Each structure stands twice: as structure tokens, then as C-alpha cells.
Amino acid sequence: MAKHDHDHKILRYRRNQRFVHALLASSFILLLLTGMVLLWGPLSFLAVGGNSRWLHRVGAIAFMLVPVAYLLADREGAKELLRETFRYDRDDISWFKHMYRYAMGHAAEMPPQGRLNAGQKLHHGAVIVISLSIVLSGLAMWFIKPTLGATGLAWTAVIHDLSMLALTLLLVGHLYFTYVYKAMSSMTTGYVDEDEARLEHSKWVEEIEHAEEEPQIEKEEQPAPQT
């Protein structure tokens, strides 16, 4: 389907990208729930029988498969995400200066933004870095626990738990912005309303329009065939 359709909707995430995001979200929630059962005394009765230990490892494998799945399912999308996440321009810096307005739901007054706004860049970048910390500390506790020693194990567990806490707090913000900016359709149907997108990501919408106009211009500029 075209990126831009006649119902004034714009394609934001392709089907495979949405599938990868669903894998990320569900594996993270499984890790969080089973992790809390393993860690938190009042919930420990749920750990009886070892199911939560087993489920936690299933969640960990699914979570680690996310980057592999992204590269296999939509290599371009994965590369675009990495490229854009770590590249900030002047508009992004000035976006941060006014981010309280964005947090209050006033996107119209914000500096123009590309496909990802500066806050999303920060969120996605933090997800990548913190996930790496969760995975490495988790793998250490899974496979080389006896070699860590008591202090090493305690520090690894602290890093693992604090990283999960940080991603959980980020998730609260992520859900808040999804709700405030009615962004859920981008991960369900893949499409967003053109006017909403123009409000939040005007540079991105202009890029799409420009790309759609280009072949038209080329056609018009071609010399008329000689008869």
C-alpha cells in the first residue's frame, strides 16, 4: 500500500515492524512480571514449582531475539531506526528546551521534527543501551554465576534490577505519550492521521510529500517526444 493514501492517513510502521514491536513489548512484560515474582517476597508464592524461573528464561530468549527478528523481517526499518535514533539536529536541541510543552500535549508549538521527535530518539536510544545492560547482566547470572563470586553476583543483580526498573519507568512515559498523542494506531493498523503527523513530525510529512512529487516533476521535465 502507498505511504500516503487518499483518506489522509500516512503509513508509519510496516506490518513486520509492528510484529517486531509486539515481540519486544510482550517479551519485556513477561520478563517484568516473572522477574517480580522471583524478586519480590509477597509474590514469591507464585514462584512455587519453578514455573516463573522457566518463563523468565523464555522471555529472555524472546527479548534477545528482537534485534535478530528486526534485521530479518525489515532490515531497512532496523537500519533507519538505528540511524535516526542517534542523530540529533538543531531542531531536536530546541525541542528539548520546550519539551514540557510537548509533555502537556501542545505539539503545535514545538520546533519542527522528523520521523522521530527528539524525545522518541532519546527513548529508543535508552531502550537499546539499557536492554544491552539487562541482557549482559542476565546472561552472566544465567551462565557464569559460579565464577562471579558473592560480591560480583550481588553487583550483577543490582545492575540487572536497576536496568529493568529504568526500562519500566521509560515504559510508563512511553505509554503516557502513546495515549496523549493517540499514537496507538501506528502500531495496530500501521497508519496515522496526516494532520496529527504534520503537527508532530512536519519535516517527515514534507519528506514523504516531496518523495511522492519527485517522479511527477521528472515526468513533466522530460522533453516532449519528437514526432
Interactions with ligand HEM, residue window 77-106 (CB under 6 A): 77, 81
Least CB distance from residue 8 to ligand HEM, whole Å? 17
Q: At what angle do helices 118-143 and 75-85 cross, to 10 degrees?
A: 110
Cα dihedral sign, 137-138-141-142: negative
Residues in the chain: 227
Instruction: Kindly give, in sequence order, each residue whose CB lies less than 8 Å from that of residue 107, ignoring residues fewer than 6 positions away.
Output: 181, 199, 200
Contact between 14 and ligand HEM by CB under 6 A: the answer reads: no
In angstroms, rounded to a whole number, what is the distance separating the alpha carbons of residues 145 and 157? 11
Q: Please choose, out of 16-24, 106-114, 152-160, 205-213, the segment that lies near ligand HEM by the rule CB under 6 A.
A: 16-24
Q: Please choose, out of 2-10, 24-32, 132-140, 210-218, the segment that lies near ligand HEM by the rule CB under 6 A.
A: 24-32
Closest C-alpha to 115, from 149, 89, 150:
89
In angstroms, rounded to a whole number, what is the distance separating the alpha carbons of residues 57 and 63? 10
Interactions with ligand HEM, residue window 173-202 (CB under 6 A): 174-175, 178, 183-184, 186-187
Instruction: Kindly give, in sequence order, each residue whose CB lies less than 8 Å from that of residue 99, ignoring residues fewer than 6 positions away.
Output: 118, 119
Least CB distance from residue 48 to ligand HEM, whole Å? 27
Q: At what angle do helices 51-73 and 15-39 cross, to 10 degrees?
A: 160
Contact between 25 and ligand HEM by CB under 6 A: the answer reads: yes
Q: Tell me whether residue 56 or residue 124 sits nearer to ligand HEM (CB atom).
A: 124
Q: Tell me whether residue 9 or residue 124 sits nearer to ligand HEM (CB atom).
A: 124
Q: Tell me whether residue 52 or residue 186 sits nearer to ligand HEM (CB atom).
A: 186
Question: Residue 200: CA atoms inside 13 Å, Cβ hemisphere, count?
Answer: 24
Q: Tell me whether residue 25 or residue 36 sits nearer to ligand HEM (CB atom).
A: 25
* Contact assessment for residue 121 and residue 85, using Cβ atoms and an 8 Å cutoff: yes
Q: Tell me whether residue 52 or residue 120 sits nearer to ligand HEM (CB atom).
A: 120
Count, residues near ligand HEM per rule CB under 6 A: 21
Contact between 163 and ligand HEM by CB under 6 A: the answer reads: no
Q: At what angle do helices 51-73 and 75-85 cross, to 10 degrees?
A: 100
Interactions with ligand HEM, residue window 119-158 (CB under 6 A): 120, 124, 127
Please give the residue ranges that form the binding site for ligand HEM (CB under 6 A).
12, 17, 21, 24-25, 28-29, 77, 81, 120, 124, 127, 167, 171, 174-175, 178, 183-184, 186-187
